[in-house]
Amino acid sequence: MILIGRNLSPFVRRSATLMHMAGLSFEQQVITTDDVEALSHFNPLLRVPALQLDDEEVLIDSHAIIDYILSEYDLDHRLCPGSGAARREVMRISAIAVGVMEKMLACAYERNQRPADKVHKPYIDKVLAQAVNGLNVLETLAEGVNFYGGNAPNLADVNAVVAYDFAMIVAPHMVEECALNHLPALVARAGEQPAFANTRWQG
């Protein structure tokens, strides 16, 4: 299998981390969204991540990739409960964390893709406030637990860790001003495991 994209993208990283946790052997091919010609072979929308399976079928979007990993390689539901309230809670935490990723990405695009005189600060303030709300919820839910998944991390932890680390890339001062405690501790514990440590963006 070949995972397309670099781990600076939180959506690429969350896919890569879960693939490592599932014990999958895969190659990661670093193609950025600026490389239109190369990326078009995998995704007509020119987005990452994409996952080329061994039979050359290509999955696009991290949601589809994660769904594939869970359905094919998490039959014991170690990475995500199979049903019921426990699964809904993992999905709730994941939705909040993915929302933080999306808002941070929107902030980065606004800052980096627009001409300086066109950057709309009220929009940046809005999306950062939304991200802060999400981080504060993740902080509250991290109190008193080793991981959201219990004694071992699961999908909820993957998304929360990736969201926090990406927020620290995009808006570190804002995250520091939140005075988070439990969430950074959870992130640090996760960072001791190879699946998280080996996918952390080092750029």
pTM of the model: 0.96
Q: Over its length of 203 residues, how does the chain's per-residue pLDDT go in tens digits?
A: 999 999 999 999 999 999 999 999 999 999 988 899 999 999 999 999 999 999 999 999 999 999 999 999 999 999 999 999 999 999 999 999 999 999 999 999 999 888 988 889 999 999 999 999 999 999 999 999 999 999 999 999 999 999 999 999 999 999 999 999 999 999 999 999 999 999 999 88
**CATH architecture label of 2-73:** 3-Layer(aba) Sandwich (3.40)
**Domains of the chain by residue range:** 2-73, 84-197
Q: What is the DSSP string of the chain?
A: -EEES-TTSHHHHHHHHHHHHTT---EEE---TT-HHHHHTT-TT--S-EEE-TTS-EEESHHHHHHHHHHHH-TT-SSS-SSHHHHHHHHHHHHHHHHHHHHHHHHHHHHHHS-GGG--HHHHHHHHHHHHHHHHHHHHHHTT-SBTTBSS--HHHHHHHHHHHHHHHH-HHHHHHTT--HHHHHHHHHTTSHHHHTTS---
Indicate the fold that domain 84-197 takes in CATH. Answer: Glutathione S-transferase Yfyf (Class Pi); Chain A, domain 2 (1.20.1050)
